[in-house]
Amino acid sequence: MTEQTQRKLGRTGRSVSSIGLGTWQIGGDWGTVEEPDAFAVLDAAAESGMTFFDTADVYGDGRSEQLIGRWRAENSDWQGTVATKMIRRAPAPSLEHASLENFRAWTQRSRTNLGVETLDLV
């Protein structure tokens, strides 16, 4: 495993790699990405020492989160942080969509997609 510089993630106290993996591409919005290929990307990132994955509920309409969730279930020894985003599911995302009801629905969808009880970072 390659040594990665670690940094504290804001006020979370979490230590994450200074270089993270953006996972928009594994959602498959711009072309098919088979699960083994997506897992190979996540494997390579983890093997290089990355401990920060960035995703969003809209990457592949949740597919990126789902793949990360399945990968994490198979790689429970990976001690990383997954950040996801929300509000972008709204037809024309703006702060008017930032209601408690929407926040709860989007949070639950991401929790389900990622297969976790608690999201690491939103």
**Enzyme catalytic residues:** 54, 59, 85
Instruction: Give Cα separations from 96 to 85, 92, 106, 108 (angstroms).
Output: 16, 10, 15, 20
The residue whose two tokens read 């919005």 is 29
For residues 64 and 28, give the distance between their C-alpha atoms in angstroms, rounded to a whole number.
8
What is the CB-side half-sphere exposure of residue 15 using CA atoms within 13 A? 5
Contacts of 39 (CB under 8 A, 6+ apart): 67, 71, 74
